[in-house]
Chains A and B, each alone.
Chain A
Amino acid sequence: MGFLAPFLRKLLKSYTGRIMALFPFGLFAVLSYLFFLLPDETAHLVDTGLKLLPEISLSFRFDGLSLIFGLMVSGIGGLVLGYSSFYMAHYSGRSKFYFFLVLFMGSMLGLVFADNLIAFFIFWELTSITSFFLIGFEHENEKTRQAALQALLLTAFGGLCLLFAVIMIGNMAGTYSLTNIYQQGFRFGAHSNYYLVFVLIFVAVATKSAQFPFHFWLPGAMHAPTPVSAYLHSATMVNAGIFLLLRLNPIMGGTIIWKTIFVITGGITMFIGAFYSMGQKDLKRILAFTTISALGTMVLLIGMNSTASIQAALIFFIVHGLYKGGLFMMTGIIDKNTGTRDIARLAGLLKKMPVTSIAAILSLLSMSGIPPMLGFIGKELIYDAKIQMPELSWLVIPLGVASNMIMVAISLLIFYEIFLQPKGKQTVALKQPEKTLPGNFLAGPVTLALVGLTLGLFPGWLENIMSNALYFIQGEIVDVHLSLWHGFNKVLILSIFTVAMGIVIFLFRKPIGSLVQVIIRWTDQYYLPERFNQLIKNYLHLAGRQTNRIQHGYHRYYLITFFTITFALVMYQLATLKGDWIPIYETSPIKWHVVMVLTFSMLAVLFAVFTRSRISAIIALGVLGYGISILYMFYGAVDLAITQFLVETVIMVIFVMVIYHLPLFATLSSTKTRIRDGLIAIGVGVMVAFLLLKARFINLEPPISDYFAQNSLLKGHGRNIVNVILVDFRALDTLGEITVLALAAAGVFTLLRLDINRKDKH
């Protein structure tokens, strides 16, 4: 789909977003159809028959859990696409934007519905990569690039952990298919690998879902265009980690470490997020920190691992997706229409932008958990779940109540500062009246707010799918009853207390706000994004230094390394070989005339090495070549002798022709290095000699040579076997050889004709 976006955009011009939005809506409709059809304890498995790899089939799993997530992803996705068609109207590179947005949507849906764990991982990584491009959309801005890179590095690191974990789970379970794993009732809480897998999964979840201490990439990701933030931080990207936890809950949930780690991490994240949000002035940053807080809440609930808490987590996911998506879009609208997102500068919008404001206020109500919104039900369930866990309630209830109080206060603050007209604040001028804004721009927040309201009034609609989801998460049949009014009980008292305290915080917002500012300033010394960048920078620096040391660029040191290591390895191997140290084998008789020739050549080579005269060196080299040629001759290799003789002559001629233009030899290295090189060289020489002696000149009576000897005349019609091999049996090799020569000739020719400085002359 995403690949079509650029073409579609050319075709549809400014309507792209709206038309494209039809696809997720269509998907949404199909999914809703499934949603109502789905019986209580079944999951539909759709096997596309495609295989990503032999073991990895691309099959999709439709159950309560994936449907809840899928509906949110496609529904909000459609709204966001429609929304961006106006928001992005004046950005350049819109094709790219739609391309990545739709691609991201597709991978998110794939992630949610994937049945195969490896496929799940692939989609997980795809969301990381596409979100990198989305966050970094305004890449001209350096901060944006940094934020995007940070998000990518962290989530990709988590992705790697996930891959390891997934492979280990797959190995232990014997299958990568979630459906099969569920059917086997596979659990490995007692397995010795459990802790390793747990840590890997924890890192994956914490990086993706911005849990403490990896939470810091999320506020940075606010550099993305607002539609992207609305999408990524409401129902998709960051919730992938939550989804993973829910998916794995039946396999590895419920252990002590699961409960402690996730409850503690979730709790800390929840509180930090809420706390930091109070000190922010930018609407988007406020929302970012409340998102962190909400993610913490979900992780905490899943960590508690009771049926009630999982139920609460699911409901809260829906609640959060609805209100956060709405609020982000609202921010975008306000930003577009007034030119600022600073709550200190915005005021009196209720009168000027009534539709947006009412939608936003409904979302804010949901966020602070006030009836009749779905948020209220969500919060009630959360409190209920926490109360039901006596061994943890001492910790989680105060943390939860504190965070919720802050949520209430934040909601009130946004409401008061932006929509009402506090004294002494200037109203901001609108760029265009709300009425003239296109419908699809406003549709997003309004729809989401209305859905939140409707579901709050009729929560029964969710019961069916919830119990299906819970069946697959907890492995037991649960009757889910959702209602607004639970009667007057502890939970309600807590809620009332929360709201009251929230109002108190709001009233004392000035002193509390400045206190928070002080604390934030203090903690900014440990500003994690900066620290992270520093870490990466140091790492790169280290890598650079290491590379410089190993890849120093001096070819002779490479050679020295190469030679000494080869020497050591070969000598070690030779020493451990059995047999005589100086091997004795049947030698052919010594031919004294050859020995004389060799001695002469040896002296010539040594002379060539040490002489200072270029011409002498070349002549000495020629002596060596002719000596070898004579050796060939005496041993019956006539063709070799002739060729060697000719080639040696040609090389000498070329050398002499070139040598005139070459410098004199100069002593470039010190005596010390010369001795060192000499030792290495002698070592290599000794090694080669030993190797040859040890090899015993094994002539394995090669049948190939015999074949040539037998058939040279019969099949090749030649009496000189060597020649027949070259031009007949191995003719293709010879053709290659001729090609090499031709290329060398062409190379030499061009080199000599080439005038590098020609450009300078003009």
Chain B
Amino acid sequence: MEFIIAIFIGLLYACGVYLLLRRSIVKLILGVLILSNATNLIIFLSGGIQRNEISFIPEGSEVANPEVILDPLPQALILTAIVIGLGIAAYILALKYKYFEKTGTHDLDQLSKTDQK
């Protein structure tokens, strides 16, 4: 299963990079979003997926069994990353919106000066 997920991540990276290299800003934003998803998956995968019980402490017990539960630490990291990803996405989109409104272009090559009208 790891094999398949790894290939999936590889594909996501390929698509993300391809979009990053486009001249259109919208595509670039899409690329960033795909890449951030793929990176989250890498962290998830590196935590190991053999043990995949929910990382809860069962009722009536004081400790969890580390042999069974999914590693909680990568989950916490990814959770943070997802939320920050949301922030970034919202900000880029707002920036892009304003930028297009002002310049009327979405071609990065037209964006050579900072003081364009």
Residues of A within 8 A of B (CB): 553-556, 559-560, 563, 585-591, 594-595, 598, 601-602, 605-606, 608-609, 614, 617, 621, 624-625, 628, 631-632, 634-640, 643-644, 647, 650-651, 654-655, 658, 661-663, 665-666, 668-669, 677-678, 680-682, 684-690, 692-693, 695, 697-699, 702, 704-706, 708-714, 719-722, 725-726, 730, 733-734, 737, 740-741, 743-745, 747-748, 751-752, 754, 756-757
B93 touches A591 (CB 8 A): no
A647 touches B1 (CB 8 A): no
Provide the bound-state CA to CA distance between A563 and B101, in Å: 32
B33 touches A651 (CB 8 A): yes
A748 touches B100 (CB 8 A): no
- Known contacts A684-B14, A699-B47, A751-B98: A708-B8 contact under CB 8 Å: no
A719 touches B83 (CB 8 A): no
Q: Among A705, A713, A726, A740, point to the contact of B63 (Cβ < 8 A).
A: A713
Q: Among A601, A635, A677, A743, point to the contact of B21 (Cβ < 8 A).
A: A677
A-B contact pairs, 5 of them (CB 8 A): A624-B37, A647-B86, A725-B72, A730-B76, A734-B80
**Interface size (B, Cβ < 8 Å)?**
88
Provide the bound-state CA to CA distance between A689 and B42, in Å: 10
B18 touches A632 (CB 8 A): no
B30 touches A617 (CB 8 A): yes
Most chain B CB atoms below 10 A, which of A589, A695, A722: A722
In the complex, chain B residues whose CB is within 8 Å of the CB of A595:
4
Closest 4 CB pairs of A and B: A685-B14, A689-B10, A744-B87, A681-B18
In the complex, chain A residues whose CB is within 8 Å of the CB of B14:
681-682, 684-686
- Known contacts A556-B21, A559-B20, A587-B3: A658-B10 contact under CB 8 Å: no
Provide the bound-state CA to CA distance between A397 and B81, in Å: 83
- Known contacts A595-B4, A685-B10: A721-B64 contact under CB 8 Å: yes
Looking at the assembled complex, report how far the CB atom of B34 sits from the nearest CB atom of chain A, in whole angstroms.
6
In the complex, chain A residues whose CB is within 8 Å of the CB of B55:
636-637, 709, 720-722
- Known contacts A556-B23, A692-B10: A637-B44 contact under CB 8 Å: yes
Provide the bound-state CA to CA distance between A719 and B9, in Å: 31
B11 touches A602 (CB 8 A): yes
In the complex, chain B residues whose CB is within 8 Å of the CB of A624:
12, 34, 37
Residues of B within 8 A of A (CB): 1-24, 26-27, 30, 33-34, 37-38, 40-42, 44-50, 52-59, 62-66, 69-73, 75-76, 78-80, 82-91, 93-98, 100-102, 106-109, 112
A726 touches B62 (CB 8 A): no
In the complex, chain A residues whose CB is within 8 Å of the CB of B95:
751
Seed contacts A556-B20, A635-B49, A747-B94; 14 additional CB < 8 Å A-B pairs: A598-B5, A609-B19, A632-B44, A635-B52, A640-B44, A640-B75, A643-B83, A651-B89, A663-B106, A680-B18, A685-B11, A685-B17, A689-B9, A726-B80
A705 touches B48 (CB 8 A): no
- Known contacts A588-B2, A644-B82, A706-B66: A628-B41 contact under CB 8 Å: yes
B80 touches A681 (CB 8 A): no
A621 touches B69 (CB 8 A): no
In the complex, chain B residues whose CB is within 8 Å of the CB of A689:
6-7, 9-11, 13
Provide the bound-state CA to CA distance between A709 and B65, in Å: 7
B70 touches A637 (CB 8 A): yes
Provide the bound-state CA to CA distance between A699 and B14, in Å: 26
A684 touches B23 (CB 8 A): no
- Known contacts A663-B106, A693-B6: A709-B66 contact under CB 8 Å: yes
Q: Among A634, A636, A654, point to the contact of B53 (Cβ < 8 A).
A: A636
A605 touches B34 (CB 8 A): yes
A662 touches B49 (CB 8 A): no
Looking at the assembled complex, report how far the CB atom of A649 sits from the nearest CB atom of chain B, in whole angstroms.
10
In the complex, chain B residues whose CB is within 8 Å of the CB of A712:
57, 63-64
- Known contacts A588-B1, A661-B100, A685-B11: A722-B37 contact under CB 8 Å: no
Looking at the assembled complex, report how far the CB atom of B52 sits from the nearest CB atom of chain A, in whole angstroms.
4
B50 touches A708 (CB 8 A): no
Looking at the assembled complex, report how far the CB atom of A646 sits from the nearest CB atom of chain B, in whole angstroms.
9
Looking at the assembled complex, report how far the CB atom of A739 sits from the nearest CB atom of chain B, in whole angstroms.
10
Q: Among A553, A589, A637, A709, point to the contact of B112 (Cβ < 8 A).
A: A553
Provide the bound-state CA to CA distance between A585 and B1, in Å: 11
